[in-house]
Structure 1
Amino acid sequence: MTKDNIYAILDIETTGGKFNEEGITEIAIYKYDGHEIVDQFISLINPEREIQPFVVNLTGINSKMLRNAPKFYEVAKRIVEITDDCIIVAHNSSFDYRILKTEFKRLGFPFKRQTLCTVELSKQLIPDMPSYSLGKLTRSLGIAISDRHRADGDATATVKLFKMLLNKDLKKQIIKQSVKTEQKSKIASNLRAIIEELPTETGVYYIHNEIGEIIYIGKSNNIKKRITQHFTGTNSKSKKIQTLVHSVTYERTGSELVALLKESEEIKKNKPILNRALRKTIFTHALYQFKDTNGYINLRIDKATREERSITTFSNRQSAKSFMQNISEQYELCEKLLGLYKTNTSCFKYEVKECHGACVLEEPVDSYNTKVNALVELHSYENKNMLIIDRGRYIDEKSVVVVEDGVFKGLGFFDLNHQINNKDVLLSLITPMTNNRDNQHIIQSYVRRYKKRLKIISF
């Protein structure tokens, strides 16, 4: 390692939250030339998003403190300058580097630096320590640390630790070998060109081979992201796609429900070579009803059959079971009559006063069946006339899925500025689609999941 190396030793505090959705709340950077600190930058940052409560407890940084702090774009230039031609050093550098790259990506700026991780270096140069967390490691090594879980306190401690590691690596071989240079994208240039043309919106996409045949159809809430996954995946389907793809076309839908219905219809129509699995039925279990000898309506989950008429269908047994548990609580239904609790006497919920006693004939048949019928009415669309209104492709547009007499008629889009109250006009605007069990399952399960967000109009 030559003495020319300059390091940007840093620590970042974040809001916490979902992976790649975190924001920076504080940053501290010390520029170190191998002998002394030659520049430094320390700042709170307004992340423009909520801070997770456990992070507030850990760092003491709350939204009020950050209200007047600069936003990331206001300090981005300073961060670029202080880290220019530097190797970034951090304790668990993959985290801090990912967060920085994410913030720069939001600004449309490619941020690339070499990195060094003091956790990895410590494990090589100071083996057999009980812990390599910054707090415990520095305590074991006698390095004073103040303001733990604040950017400046942790960055200062990392500077001291890094100096110690530099001194320990006498031949400077271990540190030299540990520097990570970000690998260039493994996506071939022709695939990258395809990705660049795709939107980050909801819709259906079609992957074509060299002669224009559709080899795969899919749907996604982010077409660009999903195609990127296909182009970087290592499973057999992804590899086949990467070998055969020549172009990708797409259709925006705005609504995930419309995308699911179009995907199902298009796969059946085109039978793409790589969609074999999706040609099968997309649900396995269904909800059935029958009356027992005492007149109570019982509900049962069973494997879906074509012959028997079901109330609603489920993708798998687990989602069916979870549905049954939810309705048992929501409608105060008996677990025995739902097939959730096998017994010849009372169900478990009766013992804890959460069942009104249908299992031991205490709850009147009529009142119990009224609850079951309300549930059946909500989840079955047999004989129903309804419009399911969801997001459109644009701000001033909505999508509509039409069910008439319990039959899925089709779907379409309408402009919010032209409120359509006439059913015949609306039906003339929709694209007719096939009413089959798969589409019925897609509609029922989607409405189950998103009924609070959807607008459902009976006509």
Structure 2
Amino acid sequence: MHNLPSFPAHSFCNFERVYAIVDIATTGGNTNSDRIIEIAILLHDGKCVVEEFNTLINPGQRVPYRICSITGISNEMVAAAPPFYEVARKIVELTEHKILVAHNAKFDYNFIRNEFKSLGYEFKLEKVCIIEMSRTLLPGLTQFNLGGLGKTFGLQAKVKHRAFVDVQVTAQVFERLLLLQTENGAEVSELLGIRLGRLSPEANLHKELIDQLPRETGVYYFYNSEQQLIYIGKSVNIRSRVLSHFANNTTRKALEMKRSIAHIRFAITGSELVALLKESEEIKQNKPVFNRAQRRSRFNVGLFSVYDDAGYLTFYAERLRHNGPEPLSAFSSSGSAKSFLEHVLEEFELCQKKCQMQKGKGPCFHHMIHKCHGVCMGVEPPLAYNLRAEQVLNLLQYEHGNLLIIDKGREEGEKSLVLVENGKYRGYGFIEEELVGNDLALLRLSINSYMDNKDVRQIIKLYLRQEKAEQVLKF
């Protein structure tokens, strides 16, 4: 199930965050055609490693002889390894709310993103590149390969082109660079200050402005030199996300937007849910030129249910249609919808054939591994099957038509409120924490009304499904 949060890209670091130090081995250097064959992740709190993960991955293609020679990873070894989709959830769980650190961050990050893209999921993380960090903090250095950096810091460990060995060397180099950064008093804005000054002749992007950006959850706004709103975004760390835009040179659109930014404003929300709702509402209302994709629904594929002629409750995924039926849940792509459906079919032991996930004669694959009770063989009646299928409906729908979602506020002593009434989104607001226990009629006075639409309903459903809210009151 790919109901997973997404995060921005970034560079450089601070001691307040936890880092996911990553190294991968691949079948080659082309992110479009080559695949990952090994991944290692070390969670680092800025002082030491606190958790480790390492696995070979079956790439679904042959490992070239040259790669076998370099890494020592054979085709026989990866044949017995899990495919990427089996470890994808673990990777997201490990990296959630972390900053990705890698020797060549662009290489590792792009490979991992492409693997997730093939599953229909957009993988986004803040990231730190050891090479870029070294060039900034060690300006006289000429060799930036991992082995060379290890020697620079007097490390005894040898690079062996195996992910788990190399990631440990990367972690040791990173620790030295963190200490060096601290000794130099290097802040992100200082390290990027020269580049910021060159973004636009009219830009008001001096160090003081960047330093005022909060490391808090909220919505941020980019304006051009004519004070026109050109982009709206949201982040759990506004400062890091804004800086990531300045470090992004990957697309023509990113470069064009970066050159256009002259002023930045922001609104702290505290609650990630409120940030998502506020971003969605204001993009639709203002239609900024660089938010073209978000002006349309971020959800393209829906998951629907129907009782078939035999009385079985079945599920299917299809593209959303204008003025079409309301889906149980919505996804950004067909791949992510089908991956989610495959997950719930397995979890609730439902039939793949009944839900259009498998065709052909004979039993479905789940039946062969005892995950389907035999609907496809005509041995399980609708009543027994539908009891489990209805659990999927409960998972996907609001548990109750009337909800008050209580979450973080913009400051200490404040809470945010999001109101769902009769199954429809009514709006959000903020209230003093000590007043949360008051009568619902009084709490309603704190709610500012906003339009209900498919996007916000899916945003709320997803947030509830991820159990991120501090408290959910049903009435």
| Match of residue 313 from structure 1 | 330
Correspondence list, 1:2-401, <5 A: 18-19=20-21, 48-53=47-52, 95=130, 98=133, 114-117=140-143, 135=158, 185-188=194-197, 190-193=204-207, 194-234=209-249, 235-305=251-321, 306-381=323-398, 384-401=401-418
1:429 aligns with 2:446: yes
Query: Quick check: 2:353–2:376 contact (8 Å CA) kept in 1?
Result: yes
1:355 to partner: Cα distance:
1.2
1:367 to partner: Cα distance:
2.1
| Match of residue 66 from structure 1 | none
Q: Structure 1 unaligned segments of length 5 or more: list them.
A: 1-15, 21-45, 56-93, 102-110, 123-132, 138-147, 156-181
| Partner AA of 1:360 in structure 2 | M
Query: Quick check: 2:221–2:264 contact (8 Å CA) kept in 1?
Result: yes
Query: Quick check: 1:232–1:238 contact (8 Å CA) kept in 2?
Result: no
Q: State which of 431, 441, 460 in structure 2 corresponds to 1:443.
A: 460
| Partner AA of 1:18 in structure 2 | A
C-alpha offsets along residues 262-308 of structure 1, whole Å, 9 cap, x if unaligned?
11110111121222221112111111111112111111011112322
Q: Structure 2 unaligned segments of length 5 or more: list them.
A: 1-17, 23-44, 55-128, 149-155, 161-168, 177-190, 199-203
C-alpha offsets along residues 316-352 of structure 1, whole Å, 9 cap, x if unaligned?
1122112112211221211122222223432111122
| Match of residue 60 from structure 2 | none
Distance verdict in 2 for CA 1:120–1:299, change over 3 Å: closer
Query: Quick check: 2:407–2:416 contact (8 Å CA) kept in 1?
Result: yes
**Number of residue pairs the alignment of both structures matches:** 323
Structure possessing the higher radius of gyration over alpha carbons: 1
1:364 to partner: Cα distance:
2.7
C-alpha offsets along residues 242-277 of structure 1, whole Å, 9 cap, x if unaligned?
333221111011222211111111011112122222
- Cα distance in 2 for partners of 1:304, 1:191 equals 41
- Cα distance in 2 for partners of 1:269, 1:312 equals 24
1:149 to partner: Cα distance:
12
* CA-based RMSD: 3.6
Sequence identity (%) = 33
Given the two structures, how large is their TM-score scaled by the length of structure 1? Answer: 0.62
Distance verdict in 2 for CA 1:281–1:232, change over 3 Å: same
For the residue of structure 1 that corresponds to 2:20, the secondary structure is: coil
Distance verdict in 2 for CA 1:150–1:327, change over 3 Å: closer
1:188 to partner: Cα distance:
1.1
- Cα distance in 1 for partners of 2:455, 2:192 equals 43
Distance verdict in 2 for CA 1:364–1:389, change over 3 Å: farther
Distance verdict in 2 for CA 1:187–1:372, change over 3 Å: same
For the residue of structure 2 that corresponds to 1:387, the secondary structure is: strand
| Match of residue 432 from structure 2 | 415
| Partner AA of 1:191 in structure 2 | L
- Cα distance in 1 for partners of 2:458, 2:285 equals 18
Query: Quick check: 1:204–1:263 contact (8 Å CA) kept in 2?
Result: yes
1:54 to partner: Cα distance:
7.1
Q: Which has the higher contact order (CA 8 A, sep 6+)?
A: 2
- Cα distance in 2 for partners of 1:317, 1:265 equals 25
C-alpha offsets along residues 398-453 of structure 1, whole Å, 9 cap, x if unaligned?
322211111100112233322334221122111111101111122222323x2266
C-alpha offsets along residues 58-86 of structure 1, whole Å, 9 cap, x if unaligned?
xxxxxxxxxxxxxxxxxxxxxxxxxxxxx
For the residue of structure 2 that corresponds to 1:240, the secondary structure is: helix
| Partner AA of 1:231 in structure 2 | F
Given the two structures, how large is their TM-score scaled by the length of structure 2? Answer: 0.60
Query: Quick check: 2:406–2:469 contact (8 Å CA) kept in 1?
Result: no
Once the two structures are overlaid, the 10-residue window that deviates more, 298-307 or 409-418, is: 409-418
C-alpha offsets along residues 86-140 of structure 1, whole Å, 9 cap, x if unaligned?
xxxxxxxx95994898xxxxxxxxx665325386998xxxxxxxxxx96489xxx
